[in-house]
Amino acid sequence: MRFARLESIAASVVKATLASLPPVIRDEAADCTIEFAEMAALLDIEADLDPDLLGLFEGNARCDPLPAAADEMPRIRLFLDNLWDDCDGDLKTYRDEVRITLLHELGHYLGLNEDQVAALGLA
């Protein structure tokens, strides 16, 4: 599937997922940029990335001090090509995985570690 179509679907899922969050969490999440990326295009630029990543939280978490530099601003990247490949091209599974990956990375933004995120069923 073409990236533009994957992005359109993911944007819809992200919008619905954010809207479904409790207001206090939704308000906190509003300060974190959410980006859609294509891992295949990034590997030449960012060789240190795990080529199998589905999502990545970068920057300062909500519980950290305010960012001192632009590169510390919080952001979540969802790697749509990897998500699609991980779902073996199944559209329903892709939507579910976009939602789970977004919530997983939001958990990191809110200060949860891998074990805490996994305990919420978002591993």
- pTM, two decimal places: 0.89
What is residue 32's predicted lDDT score, i.e. its pLDDT? Answer: 92
3-state secondary structure the chain: CCHHHHHHHHHHHHHHHHHHCCHHHHHHHCCCEEEEECHHHHCCCCCCCCCCCCEEEECCCCCCCCCCCHHHCCEEEEEHHHHHHHCCCCHHHHHHHHHHHHHHHHHHHCCCCHHHHHHCCCC
Number of domains observed in the structure of the chain? 1
For 53-102, write each residue's pLDDT tens digit: 999 999 888 888 777 777 778 999 999 999 999 999 899 999 999 999 99
Domain extent at residue 102 = 3-119
* Amino acid symbol at 58: E
What is residue 98's predicted lDDT score, i.e. its pLDDT? Answer: 98
The CATH number of whichever domain residue 77 belongs to comes to 3.30.2010.20
